[in-house]
Amino acid sequence: MKGETQSCLLTGQGQKTSRDMSDLKKITGRPSAEEEQRLNMSESFRKILDLSSGDSQNAGIKPITFVRQVIAGCTYPRMLQGDALPPDARLRAQKLLSHFDGGSIGSYTESCGVMYVRNTIAKSISLRDGGVLCSPEQIFITADTQRALMRMLQVLCQSEGVSAVMVPDPAPHTLARLLERMGVVPVTYQLREQSGWSVERAELNRAIQASRGRCFPRTIYISNPGNPTGHVQSRESIQDVIRFAANEELFLLVDEVYQDTVFADGSEFVSYKRVLAEMGEPYSGRVQLASMHSLSNGIMGECGFRTGYMEMVNVDEAVMLYIEILLTGDLCPPVIGQIALDVMADPPCPGEPSYSLYTREVASRLMTLKCNVSRAVEFINDLPGFSCQSVQSGIFIYPHLTLPHTALTHSQSVGLLYSRRLLEDQGVYVGFSEDHTHSGSCCHLRLCVLMPSDELEEALRRLQSFHFQFLKEYCDTGETFSEPQQSVK
C-alpha cells in the first residue's frame, strides 16, 4: 500500500492570522518550532484550503438548499407553521418527523437507521438499477462508510489463520490505516495506470496466487468509481471481477460513493449489484456483496453529517443479524444524517416547488467539477515531470510525478520532500503516495478539485511557481526550465 499524508492549501496574500495557524495545526498536527518559524516567515499565503480531504464545503462549495431546508424544518418544527420554507420542504420535514419517536430528531432510531429512510433508499436503489429488487431489510445506515467497512471486516476476517483482504493500489488514503488498525493483511493488486487505471483479471490472479501460503484472502475491496484515480469500470470489467470473486469464493466489498459524480462523455456508472443480477446464475444467487454509499462524497458533499449506508446482497440471514448486533453498539447513526440521506435518495420531483433550484444546483456542481478536472489535468500535464490520466468521475485528480535521481540526495521520500516544500514555500500541502513500482524518484499527488474555479486557479498558480523553483533547486540535471508566461488564467 502506498503511504499517504494529509494536505491543505494556504492561499492569499499577507501574513497568516492566528486562526489560520490554528487551522494548520488541526490539519497537520502541531508543527515543530523550526517548521512554525519557517511558516511564520512566509508572506505569500494566509487562507487555508484543504486540497486532499475532499471536503468541498470547506473549499467554498455551498450546500444544496433543499437538504438544509428539510433539516431546518426537522430541527426547529416551529418553522413548519409559516412560509419560511417551500411547501415541499415543509411536507418532507413533517413526514420525516412523524417517523421519529416522539416526533423529534432528538430521539434514538433503530440501530440500523429508521425504517422509513431505509425504505426510501431501497426504492432509489431499485430505480437506479433498472428495477432490480431491493429490500429495506438489506439496508444498514451507518456512521459513514468507514464504520460500515470496519464492521464488515470484523465479520469476514475473524476465522482461523491470517485473514487478508485484496485491495487496489492506488486505494482511498484512509484504507491502509483502517486495515492496520484491525490487523487485517492487505493483498495488493495494481491498477494499470497507462490503461486509465483499469482492473486487469490477470493482475487479480497474480496477486492472489502470490498470497498463497502466507495469508487467506476472504474478500476483495473495489472502489468504483475509483478513489483517488477517477476511473469508471465498464460493465465487462465488473463482470470479470465478479467471476474472479466467484471462482476464489471472495466476498465483494464495493465502495461506490462517487456514483453521482460521473461527468466524462461516454462514461456511465453501473452498479455491481445490477451487473451481478443481470449475469444470472450461477453468479446472481451465489456471489455475496456489500455496496456502500455516503453523504460525504460527491455531489452532496455533507462531510460533517458523517452518515452513509450499506446494502447487503446474497448474505445469509444469520450473518445479517450478526452485523446488526455489531451496529447496535453504535446506538444509532446520526439522525440529521439520516434526514439528508432521505433527500439524497428521493430528491424533489418535476412539478414540485423545489425541483428547479435543486436540479440547477446539482447541475452547477457537476459542471464546475467537469471544468475544473479538465483545466487541472491539462495544466498538470504541461508541467515538466508530471503526467495525469484523464478523469471520468470523483473529485480528485491523481497525477504522477517523476523527478531526476538527484532529488534523492535530499530525502529518501520524494513525495514527502515535494509536499513539505510545497507547503512551506507556497502554502500548498497535498496528499502524496510513493510509487514503489518504479524508481524511488516517483510519486503520485492527490488533489481535490471540487472548489470554486477562482480558488482552483490560485492553487494552480502557486503549484506552478513552486514546481519550477523546486526543479531549479533540487534537480541539477543541466537542463534549464523556463516558466510559461501565461499558463494560469
- Which residues is 447 bridged to in the sheet? 397
Bigger pLDDT: 15 vs 324: 324
How large a percentage of the chain has pLDDT more than 90?
65
Q: For residue 184, which of 192, 175, 195 has the smallest C-alpha distance?
A: 175
Q: For residue 171, which of 208, 218, 206, 223 has the smallest C-alpha distance?
A: 223
Distance CA 337, CA 293 (A): 13
Instruction: Say whether pLDDT at 74 is over 60.
Output: yes
Residues 6 or more apart whose Cβ sits within 8 Å of residue 382:
484, 487
Distance CA 231, CA 234 (A): 10
Secondary element (H or E) of residue 139? strand 139-142
Instruction: Say whether pLDDT at 23 is over 50.
Output: no
The CATH class of the 108-345 domain is alpha beta
Instruction: Say whether pLDDT at 15 is over 90.
Output: no
- Ranges 40-49, 110-119, 280-289, 452-461: which has the least confidence: 40-49
Confidence band of 191 (pLDDT split at 50, 70, 90): very high
Condensed to tens digits (0 to 9), the pLDDT of residues 383-406 reads 999 999 999 999 999 999 988 776
Note the pLDDT of residue 69: 98
Confidence band of 409 (pLDDT split at 50, 70, 90): low
- Which residues is 187 bridged to in the sheet? 166
- Residue pair 271/259 in contact by the 8 Å Cβ criterion: yes
The one-character DSSP state at 443 is: E
Bigger pLDDT: 193 vs 488: 193
Note the pLDDT of residue 353: 98
Bigger pLDDT: 276 vs 25: 276
Note the pLDDT of residue 13: 34
Instruction: Say whether pLDDT at 471 is over 70.
Output: yes
Instruction: Say whether pLDDT at 486 is over 70.
Output: no
Note the pLDDT of residue 145: 85
The whole-chain average pLDDT of the chain stands at: 86
Q: How far is CA 29 from the centre of its chain?
A: 22
If you average pLDDT over residues 179-207, what whole number do you get?
A: 95
Condensed to tens digits (0 to 9), the pLDDT of residues 336-388 reads 999 999 999 999 999 999 999 999 999 999 999 999 999 999 999 999 999 99
Residue recorded with cell 464495493? 254
Condensed to tens digits (0 to 9), the pLDDT of residues 123-174 reads 999 999 999 999 999 999 998 888 889 889 988 887 667 889 999 999 999 9
Instruction: Say whether pLDDT at 29 is over 50.
Output: no
Bigger pLDDT: 205 vs 484: 205
| Total count of residues recorded for the chain | 489
Can you say whether the dihedral through the CA atoms of 183, 188, 193, 199 is positive or negative?
negative
Note the pLDDT of residue 411: 55
Residues 6 or more apart whose Cβ sits within 8 Å of residue 398:
170, 228, 229, 230, 388, 389, 391, 444, 445, 446, 447
Note the pLDDT of residue 25: 44
Ranges of CATH 3.40.640.10 domains, the chain = 108-345
- Residue pair 484/36 in contact by the 8 Å Cβ criterion: no
Residues 6 or more apart whose Cβ sits within 8 Å of residue 62:
none
Note the pLDDT of residue 7: 40
Instruction: Say whether pLDDT at 483 is over 80.
Output: no
Q: For residue 9, which of 57, 43, 59 has the smallest C-alpha distance?
A: 59
Confidence band of 80 (pLDDT split at 50, 70, 90): very high
If you average pLDDT over residues 89-108, what whole number do you get?
A: 96
CB neighbours (10 Å) of residue 78?
8
- Residue pair 259/225 in contact by the 8 Å Cβ criterion: yes
- Residue pair 468/483 in contact by the 8 Å Cβ criterion: yes
Condensed to tens digits (0 to 9), the pLDDT of residues 209-264 reads 999 988 999 999 999 999 999 999 999 999 999 999 999 999 999 999 999 999 99
Confidence band of 417 (pLDDT split at 50, 70, 90): confident
